[in-house]
Structure 1
Amino acid sequence: MNIGLFFGSFNPIHVGHLIIAHQMAENSDLDQVWFVVTPHSPFKKKTSLLDNYDRLEMVHLATKDYDNLMPSAIEFNLPQPNYTINTLAYLKEKHPNNQFSLIMGEDNLKGFHKWKNYALILEHHNIYVYPRIAEGTTDTSLSDHPQIHKVEAPIMQLSSTYIRKAIKEGKNIRPLLPEHVWKYVDDMHFYS
């Protein structure tokens, strides 16, 4: 099985995440997309993150109606801060019959050469890239790599940061979250 790994803090998961994951599952050779909830990114501050299990619960709620979209807490028990190369090695050991690929936005591809062991990742894993509006030019040295596949998907300008800010300001963001996630966020008074 070919599984696409969509890494993120999902703080909170929103309709943009679902649209991208669904497009990847439907318009590529990926059989499933796993939402890998990251406990802590080496590139982000941890202070604004909700509890790991609250974010995982939101991903469960968002994906429960989709057969090919799955939540994953695989990184919760790995040493922190964790790097993608370690997660990929762990997954290959636990699921040797599956092929794991990465899903990332075009904007992340520009900085991919800064990732730990990025060349090793490219040697053994495909990368599926969805379009983003980004400043500057795309790094063509990587975008032409045979392991990198661009997949057509709607360009999403929606961000979790925008949603958290809007909630804090008392705005109604209900259409921006999957219904079950909106209810959970509202019931728990997250981000307000």
Structure 2
Amino acid sequence: MRTIGLFFGSFNPIHTGHLIIANYLANHTDLDEVWLVVSPHNPLKKKDALINMYDRLEMVNLALEQAENIRSSTIEFSMPHPSYTIDTLIHLREKHPEKDFVLIMGSDNLASLKKWKNYEIILRDYRIYVYPRPNYSAAPELEGHPSVTLTNTPLMEFSSTFIRNAVKNGKNIRYFVPDNVLEFIESKGLYK
């Protein structure tokens, strides 16, 4: 049975940090592959801050052109919005019973997991691989949970918010995003 890590995100935009995290988990853990699940609308985020989901997907696909063991997933595009992780996990398990799905999340999300729909079922039925986030330690009450694995993924000190703000303020974002993603952002005038 192949083990697939599911890295959910708005990817608004995808950046080098996302790619380093996905690459580390796909190639330095027991995961066979990592799927970047582009979320049309995260219920814990404001929808008006998001650009079109197809533009975000296109940037993910551009970023993954040379990637090994990492691919994009549009599973949530055809599901009701906002997307709830538990619904997506159940849907994927039904669609791919031959795969073992592991949830990938940052320590910031682990800290807020108890706000998620049916979080108890996620903890009961799925493994969770946690990568470090700046200024967030893992939730102490979940750190020792048998489903939770804290990984040694490199710490990324920047975010999509940083990149959106940099573009809005006319700052150079080269090397924060892959070159082809930068070209896409500039050609479409995104985040200005």
**TM-score exceeds 0.5:** yes
Moved over 2 A (4+): none
Residue 119 of structure 2 aligns with which residue?
118
Give, in angstroms, the shift of residue 12 of structure 1: 0.4
**SS of 1:146's equivalent?**
coil
Residue 99 of structure 2 aligns with which residue?
98
C-alpha distance in 1 between matches for 2:113 and 2:156: 20
Give, in angstroms, the shift of residue 127 of structure 1: 0.3
Output the TM-score relative to the length of structure 1.
0.96
**Number of aligned residue pairs:** 191
User: Contact 1:35–1:71 at 8 Å: present in 2 too?
Assistant: yes
Residue 46 of structure 2 aligns with which residue?
45
C-alpha distance in 1 between matches for 2:138 and 2:174: 34
Pairing of 1:16-31 with structure 2 (within 5 A): 16-31=17-32
Give, in angstroms, the shift of residue 138 of structure 1: 3.6
Residue 143 of structure 1 aligns with which residue?
143
Give, in angstroms, the shift of residue 154 of structure 1: 1.3
Residue 130 of structure 2 aligns with which residue?
129
Give, in angstroms, the shift of residue 108 of structure 1: 1.1
Give, in angstroms, the shift of residue 153 of structure 1: 1.4
Matched residue type, 1:153: T
Deviations 1:53-96 (A, max 9, x none): 10000000011111211011110110112211100111011111
Q: Which ranges in structure 2 are unaligned for 5 or more consecutive residues?
A: none
Does 2:162 correspond to 1:162? Answer: yes
Aligned alpha-carbon RMSD (Å): 1.1
Give, in angstroms, the shift of residue 28 of structure 1: 1.2
C-alpha distance in 2 between matches for 1:165 and 1:99: 37
Give, in angstroms, the shift of residue 139 of structure 1: 2.1
Residue 187 of structure 1 aligns with which residue?
187
Deviations 1:95-152 (A, max 9, x none): 11001111011111111122111111111111000112225x6422211011111111
* Structure 1 stretch displaced more, 51-60 or 125-134: 125-134
Output the TM-score relative to the length of structure 2.
0.96
C-alpha distance in 2 between matches for 1:183 and 1:64: 14
**SS of 2:66's equivalent?**
coil
C-alpha distance in 2 between matches for 1:48 and 1:139: 27
C-alpha distance in 1 between matches for 2:35 and 2:78: 17
Residue 58 of structure 1 aligns with which residue?
59
User: Contact 2:107–2:139 at 8 Å: present in 1 too?
Assistant: no
**SS of 1:58's equivalent?**
helix
User: Contact 1:13–1:62 at 8 Å: present in 2 too?
Assistant: yes
